[in-house]
Copies of this chain bind each other. A is one copy, B any other.
């Protein structure tokens, strides 16, 4: 590819406000009707209009600042390489809290504080081994404990035949003797044909979240859960399980997709095959850590709060680079960018580095609890909240939790974001940390940043969620998109966010 870009360049000289590209149709009025969607478009030369529109120029300055002087990537390097992974309750999570607060201070937040949150404390241990016996050659499987799993009894090896299922319900229909004393392999892959990889993840996650208890209920002694990724790799991808009350807690591990596929086939050919499992995970008493908060007071409506954030904790393998180091540095970068371009917010903006999203969401719940109290006493009003917790990939759009009117208002931003290739406006799933704010009355509008999701689960909760797998420009574009949404909310609020 050579000449096409020269040609594209000719058609697209950078203007003083850097308006790029050409609209598809210029100066033409038209009407389209396609499967129930009627869209009447009048598009004129967007360049001239964009330059004269103050929001458009403001947004351009945000992207310019992010791409020319961005600090998100260097901040992410420090968080992932100097501090590393940071599971709730760990000393590195405490270190990350100190670091995050220091950056908020260096970016001149008006005030910073820690909102105390009591979080669980659990360690993976140094042993997670699983082997097969009875197939041509004994083989080690790539596994790691699911978050919150118990270890094997007395940290010793357990061993049993293998039951392979794709659905939890299959276990209920099996005679007890076919499961008792065995190890269950949950082997349903993420659906490859779903475009939204998050939907594919959601469609397979019952195995990880509830598989161990379903297996125990049927009499099994352990569970192996196929890693939640589309990739065929040898990485186990961890994540939280939830034990059901009153059911025996059996050890459960994530197994790589390559090993799960192989083991599933082997069990068909060699039904007597046995698998061993040994893990020494441990749960400890809860400890106090907290949400790190920076505040920038609004000039016009200081008691009305726009919250934005990501989560500071991560799983304890890899470096939590996409999940959710990216969201943390996006959040910090919004403060830096808006100060750098001389923006003065009307509303108070809260930058929140939440704790404990991965295994409890206690940070998000505590933040909402305090918010509900302040809102009830009329001392504060929480008008909007934004989250970045879907990776550092190229931004595609937003997810909105709110009324139709709120969704419509956000959809109205589409022309402003089109020059930045941000086009997706979908509903639901704005973010775990901010989701407890839905309980407030009146309820804030919730927005989630939607980066491209095709690569996310390659890295998610695995040893490969590291700094090297985050792309500098993509991270910067995400930060700019996040910042632009904050500015648009700041200027357009109040948005009607409670159903009539």
- Residues of A at under 8 Å CB distance from B? 1-12, 14, 18, 20-26, 28, 30, 32, 34-44, 46, 49-50, 52-53, 55-56, 63-64, 67-68, 191-199, 201-203, 205, 209, 230-231, 239-240, 323-324, 357-358, 361, 389-390, 394, 396, 399-400, 404, 407-408, 410-416, 419-421, 423-432, 435, 448, 452, 454-455, 458, 460, 471-474, 477
Contacts and interface: CB of A to CB of B under 8 A. Distances in A.
Contacts of A26: 404
Contacts of A416: 34-35
Nearest to A70: B192
B408 A8 contact: no
The 3 nearest A-B residue pairs measured at CB:
A9-B202, A423-B423, A36-B49
A115 to B, nearest CB: 20
Contacts of A40: 38-40
Q: In terms of DSSP, what is the predominant structure of the interface of chain A?
A: mixed
A423 to B, nearest CB: 4
A315 to B, nearest CB: 10
B32 A37 contact: no
Nearest to A423: B423
Contacts of A477: 195, 454
A295 to B, nearest CB: 25
A427 B471 CA distance: 27
Contacts of A404: 25-26, 28
A106 B473 CA distance: 41
A415 B423 CA distance: 12
Given A20-B196, A35-B53, A39-B415, 19 more contacts: A2-B239, A2-B432, A4-B198, A8-B196, A8-B399, A14-B194, A22-B426, A24-B426, A25-B404, A35-B49, A37-B43, A37-B46, A39-B414, A68-B193, A195-B419, A230-B473, A452-B452, A455-B474, A458-B471
